[in-house]
Structure formats: structure tokens, C-alpha cells
Amino acid sequence: MTPKKGSFVIEELENVQINIGKVGAEEQILEGPTPRPEIIGLRNWDYRIIDRYNPVYTPTGDTCDFCTYGKCDLTGNKEGACGIDLEGQSARQALMTSIMGAACHSAHGRHLLNYLIKKYGEDFKIDVGPSNLQAPLTETIMGIQPKTIGDFRPVLDYVEEQLTQLIATTNTGQEGAARDFESKALHAGMLDLLGMEVADIIQISCLGFPKSDEKAPMAEIGMGILDSKKPVVICVGHNIAAPAYILDYMDKNGQFDKIEIAGLCCTAHDMTRYNKSAKIIGSMSKELKYIRSGIPDVLVTDEQCVRADILKEAQKLHIPVIATNEKITYGLQDRSNDSVDAIIDDLVSGKQPGVVLLDFEKIGELVPKLAMKMGPIRKAKGLTALPDDEEFKKLVAKCTKCLQCTRDCPQSLPISDAMAAAVNGDLSLFEILHDKCVGCGRCDYSCPADIPVLNVIEKASQRVIREEKGKMRIGRGQIGDPEIREEGRNLVLGTTPGVLAFVGCGNYPDGTKDVYDIVEEMIQRSYIIITSGCSAMDVGMFKDKDGKTLYERYPGRFVKGNLLNTGSCVSNAHIAATTIKVASIFAGRKTKGNWEEIADYVLNRVGAVGIAWGAYSQKAFAIGTGCNRLGIPVVTGPHGTKYRRAFIGKPYRKETWNVLDGRDGSVINIEPAPEHLMITAETKDELMPLLAKLCFRPSDNSLGRAIKLTHYIELSEKYLKKLPDDWHIYVRNEADLPVAKREQLMKLLEEKGWKIDWEKKKILEGPLRKVDVSFQPTNVPRLCKEVKK
Ligand code: SF4
Ligand code: SF4
């Protein structure tokens, strides 16, 4: 819209009413050069990233069968019939994965936005807590400052339009360059962050979720928390819209002491944010296990991370399924226009195994009523898929030790050993397996002796399941501006060693306990730990010797040594947004329409790292890719190799580690910091020092660098039993060295050929560069004050 200037005069101003149309967020002043970037709008920035952090592909196949030209052999340097090569095809896969994830979160946001506007009106004010910068991603990407939930309409219009453009580029005969597929994948990742921000801000604002609340209450969590004698309702998925009505109905009718209601996956997070009487069972990996236990009397599904076989599994145990979202309907009849009583009759009698029900008022009334009817019926029959004691003995005795289950298990679990021990009455190996098992059910299909392996594992683990009772601080939402003001300086100068964000799913390589252990170690080392999604739940699942979870032991403020849970999957947006807040609030960078400058600041100055240790979904990939575009490195667990693309830095290619000094445009060759943007760690031992290393930033001051180096060295010595090979690369002068080891490390530097003045205890020669407290590292030439010729 072109702004028009002018003035008008009304003489004898009396009884005149002037109506000015809505001055919407769209009309606000733009600050940066790239508001609403198109699919190549940030290509230059993407190229800067890709040139340093080269995409590395690990394709699972070397053919392409996307179109009817195929199947095409892409081995060697061969091209497919359309001209694409294996690198291009791999990059296209990365783009498609990123698009899928972004679409998932944005469609969730759209569903919520339409519903909340209908219920509360488009002028409902945004309120996320004590912040002026309320929607950092929206401001940075769109160049607008939304005030009401209606202001998010053009934001999601933009996301949807861009995703359509991106999907179009994946068609055969469109984009062919791997580099540009990756730029587009980064664009999709950024859109993902934006869609998540919209979804969480509107639900926080309208549904009374905690608003930047560092003291949000605790919620109970675990497979052992429910009183299974009561009727049990389990909600599965990510979208709070329908469960909110169930909680309201139960609240209104005083049913919280009569019915147990809990969630699986991120719906659980948002149920507890909405009403703290709700409980949390755990992540998606608990879905099949919990359904087969027979404990749920009603299953309510919405969207995302809902197993495709839920209806089939539930039907075997006469657990009615209420599908409340158009995205997952399981072939069930849509009963939205029928009476609640008629639907209940058909479900109780088993005439229908489940229904699609899209009327939230009806869902709210039906689910508790249905649970009250189904509970006594199901409990009287003792419906469960788990074997009884006698059957269990027969089943474990059937195992022939063929190891087929272990070969098919994504975790390669030693199931036959546990079977053999159980034959002799020792269930301890099964109890260990229970935590490591991601509940996929693949072993059931692989066993030639027809042993229902997962059921056997769960039967054997009843003792540990009963004791599985933890606590998690309810999702707090954003980090408030005052917290950023307090902590920003420490973070940028490096005196807080880093922000570690534990995000994503429960596909851990060696059980949930690892996440707890990693968080405990890093929080004790004064890192700020932020969690979200299933990782946030798993962190709260274990207790120390005094019976306290990490959430009970550590406060939830954005300062070093604290543990913050932002909330559900869409709350991931606030973690990325925190880095924007640091750039804006602490460093005064302009945000609106200014992605490149903000991302450049984050990459060079904010020691934040994402850890998706159990990532499994396309959503987790999109989140990680969005963080990468914002300059935040991400580490995945070993299953992350199945995403088939990483962004790896090469320290030995010196020319890729040149940055500009913003004061005068001079070129400075820096240490590789951060070394990678997306990388997989094979083991926890490998992960620990890597996390510390990825927190290095060129802007660290000496005190900060010494603190970071201390952790890097200590973690390497503790977990890998050696000094890191590259610790010296991060030393710029003697003050960068950890105080406790300074002399010892200086001797080692001398052995490497560095010159040391032992009298003054100073490094004279050796480092790549000197410390300069005024250094303004940037990768963007236009941000330099004066470019040197
Ligand atoms: S259900 Fe558990 S034990 Fe069975 S294949 Fe999956 S992860 Fe392995
Ligand atoms: S596949 Fe079945 S029989 Fe073979 S080792 Fe596993 S549980 Fe035993």
C-alpha cells in the first residue's frame, strides 16, 4: 500500500464522529530490508551459511522414483531422466522433509486461529507476559508488530502462500540445484518457526496459559500416575482445542476426582497449561504401551504424533476412539450432527469402534459421560493386551533366541537375553529394556514364534511402570523481556557458558534416562537449560536420591543454572525467539523485516545450541532447519542420520572461517565457532563435549572463553577420557585458558610450537588471532561501517 499524505479541516467541530478504519499490523512501519521474504528473499544469507556449513548427505537409496520417468539410477555421476543428480535429489528430500514439518505446525496454528477468532473475536489482545517484543519471529520475518489475534491472519496467509511456492519447486522439472533446494529448505524451516509462534501466542493469549511464568506450577507425569480404578480419559496429539472443552465440562461438573484425565505427547503439555488438574503420561513412545495396558477407557485424538494404528489397537480392547480433528479421521463416521446420547449408545455397545466428532461442545460433554459408562464395563472385564502371569511364563519360554526381533528393533535391544532371564524369574533385564524401548511394536511382527514381544516387555516391567511418577514444571511460554535484560550480557560475552535447548521427540538411542543425565550435568555447569515437547517431559521423569525431579531442584528463570520448560512442540518458537530478543533488547538491533542481521548476530554472538536427542519427525527436522537459518547450531541423536542431511563445518578449510569486523570491514580469520550447524552425535559421551564446543562464539570475551573452554576440556576428559584434539584452536591469549589448568595447558601449547614468556606467564606467539573486546564479527558486508579496499 502506498501511503498518502494530506490534511483535512472540519470547521465548527461539533457533533462530528470520525471513524478511522482499523490501523492493522500490516500498516506499521518497516525497519529492515526483507519484510515477508519470498522463497529466494534470504538466499544470500543461506548461501553464506551453506558455504561455511556444507550440506553432507547420507541418502538411504541411490535411485529416484518420484515420477513416471523413474525409477532412475543416480549412482556415480549419473543423472535421472529429468536431469537431477543424487545431490540434487538428496537436497530435494531435505526440502520436502522441512516443508512437511512446517506445514504440520502451521496447519495446527491455522486450525487454532480460525477457532479462537470465532470464539473470542479477531480483536482479542495478545498477551504473552511482561514483554514489549511480544512476537519476535513475526516481527523479524513479517516486519509487523501484531497486537491482536486477528493480526496473525496475514502472517499465516504468508506462511501458507510460501509453503505452496516451496512445494511447487519439488515437482519434477522444477529446481535442479542442490544449493537452492537447501536455501528453500532453510526458508521452510523459518516458516516453521513462524507458524509455531503464531500457534503458541494465540493459545497463550486466549486460553489463559502461563505467560512467561518462571514459577508455573508442577504437573504430574509418568505411566504410573493414574488411578486406574477410576474411568480414564487419554487425549493424544498436539491440539488443545477439543481437550479444553473436556476439561471445562469436567471442571464445571466437579468430575476431577471421579475421572482421571491425562495426555500423551504435546496435547498433554497444553492440557496442563490450560488446567493444572490434567496429568501427563509421556511422549509418543508411550502410546502403544499405554493403550495395550488397557488402562484408557476413552481415547481422544487430535493431530500430530498420533499412531496410525490407534483405532486398531483400541478396538481390540473396546476402547472407543473420538477423533476430533479433520487431519486424522481413521475412516470413522462423522457423527458431529448427532445427539451425544445416540453416539454414546453406539460406542458403549461396540456398534461403532469410534467416531469423528468435530463439535467441541459435544466433545466436552460426550467424553466424560462416555468414560463414566465405559470405565465400569471395561474394568469388570479386565480388558488388557498384556498377558497374565501364566501366559507370560509360556511366552518367554517360547523364545528360540533367533534374534530376529533384535535385528528389526530400531534400538537393537537384546530382547532374547531378557526372555532367557525371565524364564528363570529374573525380570531386571526387561525392566531395563522398558525405558530404552520406543514402543514401536516392530518386534511383534518380526517374531517367528508369535511372541507379542512388546506386551511381554510391558508385563515384565509392571513394577517400574507403577513407580514411574515424575513432575514437570508446566510450560511457561516465552522468556520475558526483563529476563533477557538481566541475562543478555552474560550470554553474549560468554560468561554464561551457553543456552542448551532440549527439544523434540522420544526416539532416544539409549533410553530417556540419558536426557535427564545430560541436563543434570549441564545445569550443574551453569548452562541455561530450556526444554520443550517430549524432551521436557522426559527430563521430569526421574528423581534424585531425595525423591526430587530436576524441575523441583532448579528454578525456572532465564539465568545460568536454571531449567525452563517453554511448553509444547509449538513453544519451540519461543526458544528461537529468545535469541532474537537478545539481539534486540540487549544489543538494540532492529528486528522488523531484518532476518539476516538478526541471524548474523545470533550466529556470531549468542551461544545457543539445540539438542534434538530423540528426534524422529519431519517437524523436528523443520525446527532444526529453522534454527539453523537463525544461526543456531543443532545436534541430533544417532537416529538423526536418517534425516539424511547435516550442515557440517570444516575447520581445516581456513577460508570458510573469515568474518568481517563490523567497525571497518576488515577480514578476520576466526576459530571455527560454532563449528557445525546441524550434526549428529553417536553417543552421549560424544555429545557432552560437543555441546560445550558448539557454544563457542567469536565474540566471547576472555573470561567467557575461559569458562567455555573449561567445560569443553572437562567434559572431553570425563566422557572421552582425553583432552580434545582442537582445544588450542580456541585460545587467543593466556586469559582464555581455564585458570585451574593454565600452566599445564601453556606447557602443552609450547610443545605445539607456541612461544611462551614464562616469567610474565604470557603467550607471545601461536594463536590464530588476538582478543579484541571491541570486535564486531559479522558475515554480512553491508553491516560494516566502512569496507576496506
Ligand atoms: S517395540 Fe521396543 S523392543 Fe520392540 S522393536 Fe520397537 S523399540 Fe524394539
Ligand atoms: S524374534 Fe522371537 S523367538 Fe526370536 S529372539 Fe526375538 S523373541 Fe525370541
Each residue of 276-314: pLDDT tens digit?
999 999 988 899 999 999 999 999 999 999 999 999 999
C-alpha to C-alpha distance for 55 and 111, rounded to whole angstroms: 34
Q: Which atom of ligand 1 is nearest to the CA of 288?
A: 1
610 pLDDT more than 90? yes
User: Do the beta carbons of residue 80 and residue 74 sit within 8 Å?
Assistant: yes
- Ligand 1 atom 4 nearest Cα: 443
- pLDDT-based confidence at residue 4 (cuts at 50, 70, 90): very low
Atom 3 of ligand 2, residue of closest alpha carbon: 399
Q: What is the distance in A from the centroid of ligand 2 to the CA of 444? A: 9
Say if residue 387's pLDDT is above 90: yes
Give the Å distance between the CA of 549 and the centre of ligand 1.
27
Which atom of ligand 2 has the smallest separation from the CA of 446? Answer: 1
Which residues 6+ apart lie within 8 Å of 330 measured at CB?
A: 301, 310, 311, 321, 323, 354, 356
Question: Residue 31: its pLDDT value, please?
Answer: 82
Kindly state the cell numbers that stand for 256: 476431577
Ligand 1 neighbourhood includes 452 CB (under 6 angstroms):
no
Q: Which CATH number fits domain 25-207: 1.10.8.190, 3.20.20.70, 3.30.300.30, 1.10.760.10?
A: 1.10.8.190
Would the CB of 418 count as within 6 Å of ligand 1?
no
CA gap 532, 574 in Å, rounded: 10
Distance CA 296, CA 279 (A): 13
For 188-216, what is the mean pLDDT? Answer: 98
Nearest CA to ligand 2 atom 2: 447
Domain ranges in the chain are 25-207, 223-468, 470-723
Amino acid identity for residue 407 in this structure? R
pLDDT at 504: 85
Q: Do domains 223-468 and 470-723 have the same CATH topology?
A: yes
44 by Cβ neighbours in 10 Å (0-12 / 13-18 / 19+) ranks as middle
**Pick from 178-192, 422-436, 484-498: least confident:** 484-498
Please determine, looking at this structure, whether the domain spanning 223-468 carries the CATH number 3.90.226.10. Answer: no
Average pLDDT over residues 705-713: 97
Adjacent-strand bridge partners of 472 = 219
**18 pLDDT more than 50:** no
Non-local CB neighbours of 443 within 8 Å, separated by 6+ positions: 405, 408, 409, 415, 453, 454
Ligand 2: which of 447, 454, 456 to mutate, most ligand atoms within 8 Å of CB? Answer: 447
Q: Is the CB of 401 under 6 A from ligand 2?
A: yes
Ligand 1 pocket test target in 404, 443, 461 with most atoms within 8 Å of CB: 443
Q: Give the cell for residue 354.
A: 469410534
* Distance from the alpha carbon of residue 436 to the mean position of ligand 1, in angstroms: 9
Is residue 145's pLDDT more than 50? Answer: yes
Percentage of the chain modeled with pLDDT above 70? 96
pLDDT in tens, 476-499: 999 999 999 999 889 888 889 999
Ligand 2 binding pocket mutation candidate from 404, 430, 457 (most atoms within 8 A of CB): 404
- Ligand 1 geometric centre to CA of 690 (Å): 29
- What fold is seen in the domain 470-723? Rossmann fold (3.40.50)
Instruction: Using the mean position of ligand 2's atoms as its centre, give its distance from the Cα of residue 402 in Å.
Output: 5
